Amino acid sequence: MTAQFDRIALIGIGLIGSSIAHDIKRLGLAHEVVVATRSAETLKRAEELQLGSRYTTSSAEAAENADLVIVSVPVGASESVAREIAGSVKPGAIVTDVGSTKASVIAQMQPHMPPHVHFIPGHPLAGTEKSGPDAGFPGLFEGRWCIFTPIAGTDEGALKKLRKFWESLGSKVDEMDADHHDKVLAIVSHLPHIIAYNIVGTADDLETVTESEVIKYSASGFRDFTRLAASDPTMWRDVCLHNKDAILEMLARFSEDLAYLQRAIRWGEGDKLFELFSRTRAIRRSIVQAGQDVDTPDFGRPHAQDTKTN
């Protein structure tokens, strides 16, 4: 593939930033990649992994003369990054981000963007429970959705360029309004993570059942939740703080439904339980049919793996 940008600045080099770096290199999408992160230690690791062609702890320096600036930091750090790069990002440059919440990121970054800079908020729906520059890998975005939430009046040419970039990484690009994005992600991503964190916390706090019992017998269901609950604490703290309204709305719905389910259990209303437990099965089928998950039982986990280590 030929280079799409002369210089790309990657601000933040965690799971997402480093995966983008791997793909830019693999596909030759830029002549130069400048990696910036605040932590000297992380920067050193990024250099060891050869994720870029230049390395700096200054976002401002990284943004200088970059044609594309990709901000991959916890959403709570968006405003400070915007402030830092405001003075150095060049006219005509595209500035985008990968944050899991969009209305908040727009409110934090947009006011600081100089005129003639194309700020296009984005969100690749990709990742794993791992974090840091070592967690990234080429192909992470292959076949995954990337959602743009463009601000009214965004330059069509800039949009097209950024769309082409993500499509080169294998992504399917969608566009929607920032508020709708935040509602959609609140249910498909934020609520599931919060619920997973919560149930793992509950299990950890029990007196009647020991933590070692929870771990020992976790394969009977519990372990599925521990994967999401192992996600980056800083990232998820910021998501909770910056998509508050949508998350609280979904939490209210969830709790209301759970109270209904709890009551059905208390009063032995088997029909209500059976109705719900059958309905949810159909949704799993649709997800598998849509190619959004594997159909192999138990996510294809090896079924004799426990013996090796236990």
Which 108-127 residues touch a second copy, going by CB under 8 A? 125-127
In the complex, what is the shortest distance from the CB of residue 177 to a second copy, in angstroms, rounded to a whole number? 12
Instruction: Write the single-letter amino acid at 28.
Output: G
Identity of the residue, 115 or 291, whose beta carbon is nearer to a second copy in the bound complex: 291
Of 164, 149, 171, 189, nearest to 19 by C-alpha is: 171
In the complex, what is the shortest distance from the CB of residue 9 to a second copy, in angstroms, rounded to a whole number? 26
Q: Does 1 bind a second copy (CB under 8 A)?
A: no
Q: Scanning the structure block, which residue is given the tokens 């309905």? A: 279
Query: Which three-class secondary structure state does DSSP give residue 28?
Result: coil
d(CA 215, CA 230): 14
Residue 95 CA: distances (Å) to CA of 65, 178, 212, 306: 12, 16, 48, 46
CB 167 within 8 A of CB 4: no
Q: Does 2 bind a second copy (CB under 8 A)?
A: no
Site for a second copy (CB under 8 A): how many residues?
Answer: 118
Of residues 192 through 251, those in contact with a second copy by CB under 8 A are 192-206, 208-209, 211, 213-231, 233-234, 236-238, 240-241, 244, 247-248, 250-251
Q: Does 50 bind a second copy (CB under 8 A)?
A: no
Tokens of 59: 């976002």
Of residues 127 through 156, those in contact with a second copy by CB under 8 A are 127-130, 135, 137, 139-140, 142-145
Identity of the residue, 6 or 257, whose beta carbon is nearer to a second copy in the bound complex: 257
CB 100 within 8 A of CB 240: no
Q: Does 307 bind a second copy (CB under 8 A)?
A: yes
In the complex, what is the shortest distance from the CB of residue 38 to a second copy, in angstroms, rounded to a whole number? 18
In the complex, what is the shortest distance from the CB of residue 134 to a second copy, in angstroms, rounded to a whole number? 11
CB 176 within 8 A of CB 151: no
Q: Does 11 bind a second copy (CB under 8 A)?
A: no
CB 82 within 8 A of CB 104: no
In the complex, what is the shortest distance from the CB of residue 142 to a second copy, in angstroms, rounded to a whole number? 4
Of residues 58 through 117, those in contact with a second copy by CB under 8 A are none
d(CA 81, CA 271): 54
Of residues 154 through 183, those in contact with a second copy by CB under 8 A are 170, 172, 183
> What does the longest C-alpha to C-alpha distance in the chain come to?
67
Q: Does 294 bind a second copy (CB under 8 A)?
A: yes
Of residues 263 through 292, those in contact with a second copy by CB under 8 A are 264-266, 268, 270, 273-274, 276-281, 283-287, 290-292
In the complex, what is the shortest distance from the CB of residue 97 to a second copy, in angstroms, rounded to a whole number? 16
Task: Transcribe 38-62 into DSSP letters.
Answer: S-HHHHHHHHHTT--SEEES-HHHH
For the chain, first and last CA: distance in Å?
Answer: 47
